[in-house]
């Protein structure tokens, strides 16, 4: 890091302070703090959707997956089509209902038990997946770019990993506590731009050093099976059928039902801006494949040609070190600061969104339910304290991350989400499209789906740690020997996600049909079949031809990406 790099990063933080100071003066009610007064335009909403999604685990982890598994993870990054689903199918119901959180919407549609289940599961999942993975990825970059920095505190020497992790979590926590969602949204708008520009330069400089796109294709073509977008069903990690099943399940859960994401659309000044924000975010979401995943392929090719040297792990390229190494070895001063600023932007935007969403869930869905008469000012303060607690929990979880990130950060994140997503996806889809689904079915589906998913995750972890082995294994020691448990633990996470979705749907439908249907008064306006005439008219007046054109452009770009990368490694002479 050169002085110019530090000046660039310093300018970024100065701008951040100004935004937080301005936002902190506007926090008087829960609507101000958690939904920015419901007065945000579509441009800021779309940029915040993108920046909240693209965390440091994407920049670091996705580049690493590009090096180790090629284009296999691109399916998760081409979920721009799911954001169009959010814009046209889900947003109208969420926005018109006037809710603060997704669990609150479930209570409107079903009952308070469904709300409690989703609130608690979401909070636990956020702390143990999003916070920990995001912070760990950011700290990895500090370890490469500032290898010599250290401080002595409490009789212990703290290196760059811990300095980077703790400082970014604390700083992000401070600006989220004081600025609320307004600060998150406006800083995300700038951060989305920095993210794209910074990663674009990594791609550009990497390709220039390598010799162009054609050279990248030639090098990757030598291992076409390992870098292909589509893999045979015999592939142990990314079978094509498993991807077709699991990727939409995770995508719909994440983009259409997760508080972390949907909260941005609820802050819109009206339904039109909410929808357009989702469409604009979908357009931005098309590009991560090119600016985050492709640099991983470029890093692999540069390493193969001996232009850069990426650290190895167990004899193979350490994927999570690809991005930091490329920043350190390829970029000139100034640009390096811009890219590091982009990484800080990714880290802080994801964490700030997460902190604010957690505070919303705890304050609105738990604290306010227990204390319904509490004042607005007290709720805002409770939200701030809840954010502080989430910051502390995230810091406490950091030491565990090196032990659970062995298979690559991004794959770890997607596998855990693959076990959390199915019951939530099933409940929301069936709840919106089938008026016969009732509260008992929703609660049963959520409960059984979550229990089954966590059981699979626990067994998988024990198999990976060698605590569960097959009957014929010659392992000596205190282990569980079971062919059935071993098969469950080793079963591909993509297919497991599909089975969990099927189980959740079956439970929801069967229990609902065996019990009394919901009363017409309870579900009026909360399903497509029971939408009122006023709702239909408001929905129709909220869009015009430009919304349709924008959506068509996003879907067209996704199709073009799929078509190109499905055949990009085919030999032209073949």
Which segment, 157-166, 181-190, 312-321, 486-495, is predicted with the most confidence on average?
A: 486-495
DSSP 20-55: HHHHHTT--SHHHHHHGGG-B-HHHHHHHHHHHH--
Q: What does the alpha-carbon distance between residue 437 and residue 517 come to, in Å, rounded to a whole number?
A: 7
Encode pLDDT of 487-499 as tens digits. Answer: 998 899 899 999 9
Nearest Cα residue to 197 out of 345, 297, 296: 345
Q: What does the alpha-carbon distance between residue 290 and residue 225 come to, in Å, rounded to a whole number?
A: 20
Q: What is the pLDDT of residue 125?
A: 75
Q: What does the alpha-carbon distance between residue 151 and residue 159 come to, in Å, rounded to a whole number?
A: 7
β-strand partners of 151: 158
Place of tokens 């082995």: 469
Q: What is the pLDDT of residue 59?
A: 72
201 CB-near residues (< 8 Å, 6+ apart): 331, 335, 338, 339
548-554 long-range Cβ contacts below 8 angstroms, 24+ apart: 550/276, 550/279, 550/280, 550/283, 551/84, 551/87, 551/88, 551/279, 551/282, 553/283, 554/80, 554/81, 554/83, 554/84, 554/279, 554/282, 554/283, 554/286
β-strand partners of 268: 40
Indicate the class that CATH gives domain 3-416+549-567.
Answer: mainly alpha
Q: Which stretch of DSSP H or E encloses residue 469?
A: strand 468-469
| CA dist list (Å): 9 to 2, 167, 343 | 11, 14, 11
The ranges assigned to domains in the chain are 3-416+549-567
Q: What does the alpha-carbon distance between residue 124 and residue 360 come to, in Å, rounded to a whole number?
A: 14
Half-sphere exposure of 404 (CA within 13 A, CB side): 21
Q: Which stretch of DSSP H or E encloses residue 313?
A: strand 312-313
Q: What is the pLDDT of residue 182?
A: 64
Please count the other Cβ atoms lying within 10 Å of the Cβ belonging to residue 552: 12
Find the length of the chain: 574
Q: What is the pLDDT of residue 389?
A: 79
3 state SS of 480: strand
The pair of three-digit structure tokens given for residue 565, joined into one six-digit string = 């990368």
Encode pLDDT of 115-160 as tens digits. Answer: 889 888 887 777 666 776 777 766 766 676 666 677 777 777 777 7
| CA dist list (Å): 131 to 45, 49, 355, 357, 372 | 22, 17, 9, 12, 29
Half-sphere exposure of 204 (CA within 13 A, CB side): 10
pLDDT above 70: residue 428: yes
Q: What does the alpha-carbon distance between residue 26 and residue 380 come to, in Å, rounded to a whole number?
A: 12
Q: What is the mean pLDDT of the chain?
A: 82
Helix, strand, coil content of the chain in percent (nearest 5): 75, 5, 20
Place of tokens 């162009």: 212
Mean pLDDT lowest for which of 25-34, 200-209, 474-483?
Answer: 25-34
Q: What does the alpha-carbon distance between residue 503 and residue 164 come to, in Å, rounded to a whole number?
A: 42
Q: What does the alpha-carbon distance between residue 529 and residue 434 come to, in Å, rounded to a whole number?
A: 8
Burial of 538 (0-12, 13-18, 19+ CB in 10 A): middle
Place of tokens 């969990």: 500
pLDDT above 70: residue 504: yes
DSSP 377-438: HHHHHHHHHHHHHHHHHHHHHGGGHHHH-TT-HHHHHHHHHHHHHHHHHHHHHHHHH-TT--
Q: What is the pLDDT of residue 69?
A: 83
Contact 299, 323 (CB under 8 A): yes
Nearest Cα residue to 300 out of 56, 568, 63, 60: 63
Residue 574 pLDDT grade (very low, low, confident, very high; cuts 50, 70, 90): low
pLDDT above 90: residue 276: yes
3 state SS of 79: coil
36 CB-near residues (< 8 Å, 6+ apart): 180, 181, 182, 185, 267
Q: Considering only residues 3 and 426, tell me which one the structure prediction assigns the higher pLDDT.
A: 426
The pair of three-digit structure tokens given for residue 353, joined into one six-digit string = 């969104």
Q: What does the alpha-carbon distance between residue 395 and residue 136 come to, in Å, rounded to a whole number?
A: 10
Q: How far is CA 363 from the centre of its chain?
A: 22
Q: Considering only residues 175 and 68, tell me which one the structure prediction assigns the higher pLDDT.
A: 68
Q: What is the pLDDT of residue 402?
A: 56
């Amino acid at each position: 890091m050169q002085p110019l790099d530090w000046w660039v990063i310093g300018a970024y933080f100065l701008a951040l302070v100004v935004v937080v100071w301005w936002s902190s003066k506007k926090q008087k009610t829960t609507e101000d703090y958690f939904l920015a007064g419901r007065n945000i335009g579509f441009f800021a909403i779309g940029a915040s959707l993108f920046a909240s999604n693209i965390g440091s685990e994407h920049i670091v982890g996705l580049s690493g997956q590009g090096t180790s598994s090629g284009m296999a993870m691109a399916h998760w990054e081409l979920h721009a089509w799911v954001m169009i689903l959010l814009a046209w199918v889900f947003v109208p119901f969420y926005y018109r209902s006037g809710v603060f959180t997704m669990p609150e919407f479930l209570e409107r549609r079903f009952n308070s038990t469904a709300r409690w289940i989703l609130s608690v599961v979401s909070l636990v999942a956020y702390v143990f997946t999003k916070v920990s993975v995001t912070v760990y990825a950011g700290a990895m970059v500090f370890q490469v770019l500032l290898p010599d920095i250290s401080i002595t505190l409490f009789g212990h020497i703290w290196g760059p990993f811990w300095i980077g992790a703790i400082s970014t979590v604390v700083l992000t926590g401070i600006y989220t506590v004081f600025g609320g969602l307004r600060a998150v949204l406006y800083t995300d708008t700038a951060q989305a731009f920095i993210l794209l520009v910074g990663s674009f330069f990594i791609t550009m400089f990497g390709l220039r050093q390598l010799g162009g796109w054609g050279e990248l294709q030639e090098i990757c073509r030598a291992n076409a099976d390992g870098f292909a977008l589509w893999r045979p069903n015999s592939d142990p990690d990314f079978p094509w059928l498993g991807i077709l099943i699991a990727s939409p399940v995770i995508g719909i859960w994440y983009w259409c039902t997760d508080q972390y994401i949907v909260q941005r659309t609820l802050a819109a000044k009206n339904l039109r801006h909410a929808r357009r924000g989702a469409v604009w975010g979908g357009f931005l979401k098309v590009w991560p494949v090119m600016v985050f995943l492709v640099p991983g392929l470029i890093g692999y090719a540069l390493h193969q040609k001996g232009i850069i040297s990426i650290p190895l792990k167990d004899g193979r390229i350490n994927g999570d070190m690809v991005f930091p190494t490329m920043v350190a070895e390829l970029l000139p001063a100034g640009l390096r600061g811009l890219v590091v600023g982009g990484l800080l932007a990714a880290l802080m935007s994801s964490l700030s969104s997460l902190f604010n969403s957690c505070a919303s869930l705890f304050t609105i869905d738990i604290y306010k339910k227990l204390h319904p008469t509490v004042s607005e000012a007290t709720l805002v303060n409770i939200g701030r304290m809840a954010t502080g607690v989430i910051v502390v929990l995230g810091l406490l979880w950091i030491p565990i991350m090196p032990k659970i990130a062995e298979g690559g950060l991004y794959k770890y994140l997607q596998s855990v989400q693959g076990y959390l997503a199915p019951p939530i996806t099933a409940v929301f889809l069936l709840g919106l499209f089938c008026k016969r689904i009732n509260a008992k079915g929703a609660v049963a589906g959520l409960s059984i789906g979550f229990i089954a998913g966590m059981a699979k995750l626990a067994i998988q972890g024990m198999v990976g740690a060698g605590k569960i082995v097959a009957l014929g294994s010659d392992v000596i020691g205190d282990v569980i020997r079971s062919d059935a448990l071993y098969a469950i633990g080793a079963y591909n996470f993509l297919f497991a996600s599909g089975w969990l979705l099927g189980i959740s749907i079956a439970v929801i439908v069967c229990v609902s049909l065996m019990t009394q249907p919901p009363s017409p008064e309870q579900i009026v306006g909360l399903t497509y079949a029971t939408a009122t005439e006023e709702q239909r008219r408001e929905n129709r007046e909220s869009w015009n031809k430009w919304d349709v054109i924008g959506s068509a452009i996003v879907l067209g770009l996704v199709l073009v990406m799929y078509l190109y990368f499905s055949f990009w490694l085919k030999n032209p002479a073949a």
